Structure 1
């Protein structure tokens, strides 16, 4: 339905060190006031913004924010990726695991299902 490719083989370069990317996304979230991937991608297109983000990513507040995020993940008893905690406009939360649950997430949020193959 969402055309997410699945492969049985693991990539040759695993495991990846993701801490720098997580720190950069933490900076973007704090600076933009939004928690959207599109905001992160837009921010990186601005000339010089990537360097400023990576500089800020090495600060103490980012390290603490990342530790808080990791604690929140463990508090939710997360066990795999992708792990999504979604909130309806009425404040109701639900957790979802795996790409095969994207349609369930869309249904929970009241979103229209995409046309198959798009």
Structure 2
């Protein structure tokens, strides 16, 4: 029997991507799935599909802020009620670094993403995505690997990796994040948003009953 696969497209700057990442990596519902985490540029994705950033839509920011707190509490995701200083942050550099980590040291990607989400969305440390990124890299990957990743990130060709990932997400139907491209038994489907994780579980024939938090999901 083929193992269900989820390709998870994310950006550290998206609070709902943070929640989705936590659920995918901790919920027993998804414990039998193959999950591939793919860093993309949310800004680049919006440009590709000509989508208006949510905070530019009147009244939507307030609604999004309430929703992120609700879903974080629902799934026991560590998240500060206060918005990180300077939000929305520029995540081009950190997403590029994560692309390189995924390519060069794929086994280190999930711990790195966990750390960055905790720093930014739980602790409100915006510096971890900018000037403090090198410190986080050294602590999570070790000095030698961190130095190599940062050196690779300065190469103009490295930017292509992030652009390719973003184009891949767009090509699979994404218009926002989190975006999940799911495959099961020859069938594929795309799903957007944490509130549609119930449909993801149904599509992949997973047992929602393994996690009580799924009771309110579509």
TM value normalised by structure 2: 0.42
Given candidates 37, 47, 50, the residue that maps to 2:110 is: 37
Distance 1:11 1:46, change over 3 A: closer
* Aligned-partner SS, 1:65: helix
Runs of 4+ in 1 over 3 A off after TM superposition: 1-6, 9-12, 38-42
Equivalent residue number for residue 164 of structure 2: 68
Match runs of 1:28-107 below 5 Å: 28-33=101-106, 37-38=110-111, 44=137, 45-48=140-143, 49-88=145-184, 90-107=185-202
Task: Tell me, in whole angstroms, the C-alpha distance in 2 between the residues paired with 1:4 and 1:41.
Answer: 11
What SS does structure 2 have at the residue aligned with 1:85? Answer: strand
How far has the Cα of 1:81 moved from its partner?
A: 1.7
Unaligned runs of 5+ in 1: none
Choose the corresponding residue for 1:13, options 72, 86, 93.
Answer: 86
Q: Which structure's residues are more often helix, by fraction? A: 2
Alignment TM-score, normalising by the size of structure 1? 0.68
- In the alignment, is the contact (CA less than 8 A) between 1:86 and 1:95 conserved in 2? yes
Taking only aligned residues, the RMSD between alpha carbons, in angstroms, comes to 3.5
Aligned to 1:115: 211
Provide the C-alpha distance between the structure 1 equivalents of 2:171 and 2:164, rounded to a whole number of angstroms. 10
- Counterpart Cα distance in 1 of 2:174 and 2:91: 17
Gaps of 5+ in 2: 1-73, 116-136, 214-218
Q: Secondary structure at the match of 1:95?
A: strand
The one of the two structures with greater contact order (alpha-carbon pairs below 8 A, sep at least 6) is 2
CA contact (8 A) 1:23 1:62 kept: yes
